[in-house]
Structure 1
Amino acid sequence: MSDEQEPIVAPELPEPAAIAPAVEPETEAPELATDVGGDEAPEPEDSGDGGEPAEPEYVTLERNGKQYQVPKELEGEFLMQGDYTKKTQTVAEKAKALEAREAALVQQAEATDAELDARATLKGVNAQLAEYAKLTPADWQAHMQTDPLGTQQHRMQFEDLKAQKAELEGIVNNASNERTEKAQQDLAKRVQETLEAAPTIIPGLTAETRGPAIDKLVAFATSEGIPEQVLKANWSPVLLGLLHKAHIGAQAIAKQAAPKAPPKAPVTPLVTVKTGSSPTASKSLADLADSDDMEAYAAARAAGKKR
């Protein structure tokens, strides 16, 4: 039948002996080319000391009070790291100082609020005590007779108000004393800072002359109408510099406004008169006096002629 399928015949496999194992070819190490473009490969440079590498150069750097030996090519990196560390420490110190100042301001604000509350309460207590102060001993006695229980309660309240007054006055006085003490400490600190900065603000000052120079500027400021309390509240190196410049300006203005001395008249030199061959030049003063020529006598007398 034409439409019948032919059977599939499996392909014949080769004999096992016919299969040869694959052998990888041996690879030899490539030879280095010694001729590139007709030129030989460059030989390594001689270091000059028998072929050994040169010793690295070291520099001494200080870090946190200790000295270290660092290769010179790394010096820049270590210095940059040191500057970064120093700046970081400076920023941390400033942040710490700001935090301390902020805490002090908060504490001061709380103390101020407590003081204000104490002052307000004290004002009310004083007002009630003023009402009780209007009662005379006779008034107390009369109230005791008419209302013994109510009068006793008022006496207890009166004593309690006096105790509250003493306590509140203590709070107010302590707050005032603390404020005064802090102001004095702050002023002393600013005065010391100004003293240390004075030689850089006013050229030529020394540790011996800065005190009198600052006192002179303070006297100048007060003479110009600046109250001493204002100077204390704002005393600083900046204020010292402003006072120094203002004093220089005031001196320049005073010098320009001072009246100028009139110019001195030029001195005319004396004219020497030569007698020449005058007949009176050889005569003495006595001879001229005996003569009738009185003009010659007067001229000789004026010229200082001797007898």
Structure 2
Amino acid sequence: MALQHRTVLLNEAVQALRIQPDGHYVDGTFGRGGHSRAILARLGPAGRLTVFDKDPQAIEVAQALAAQDARVTVRHEGFAALAGLPPASLDGILLDLGVSSPQLDDAARGFSFRHDGPLDMRMDPTRGISAAEWLATATVAEMTEVIRDYGEERFAAQIAKAIDRRRQARGPVRTTAELAEIVAGAVKTREPGKDPATRTFQAVRIHVNAELEELQQALDASLSVLRPRGRLVVISFHSLEDRLVKRFLQRHARAAVDRRAPMVEPPPPCFAEVARTLPTAAEVAANPRARSAVMRSATRTAAPAPRPQGGR
């Protein structure tokens, strides 16, 4: 049975943005618009909301919303495109990472081993190569690296070799059921309550969509596009994403000392008020997808003064 899509940490995320009625905000992952609609409800007539999404189905929903609300601008691209926005133009950025329930429940998208379908996994099926295309050409070493690093799978080498044996014997892996079967045969022990294909599907999806690279680009862009006192809010659903966000905020929440000039007062940190928020027990009980969610938020500090160039 398909799970009804419920926006995770809806109220907490919107509250963390500290919305100003006339501010300009970004929802970097529009999805089905839960966060966006809550943001719009707090914006005044002069407020603006720019939404990004790779998924054509999400973009259709976003465009319908924009047709009814002139405050909304829709961008059919990933949130790494934040880097193209004017400097100091945003009062808040919200990134709700991962795959939505509608994407998982649509067998044609190929995200889930629970529904047999074409092995696609692209957030935007109109661009890039599918999971099946990548698995058809990747070397055993490449597959091992991706499954190990992005899936944190200790049987990565065995799974990669099993995929290669299947390619040699019967041709490329085409469907989600075929990949799940291969993984099940290669993974010798299973975590209680978790399908053996979980980590491999996660790893291939992250690689095909360059998810961690895009997240890092968006985080770096936030340093430029957020105004002083602007808010960054990121909801993660697995440890790789959360670790990347955590380290980024830790790095930029402390003053950077120039070792070449230790007596010079360092510029102020780029972020302050760094916080971590978890779903309540009630939300997890009502929405199992919230179980692994972690929200991190921070405030952009005043931009440091530019260092003098040469001179006396």
- Answer 1 or 2: which has greater strand percent: 2
TM-score (norm 2): 0.18
- Structure number with higher relative contact order (C-alpha < 8 Å, ≥ 6 residues apart): 2
Q: Which has the larger radius of gyration?
A: 1
- Answer 1 or 2: which has greater helix percent: 1
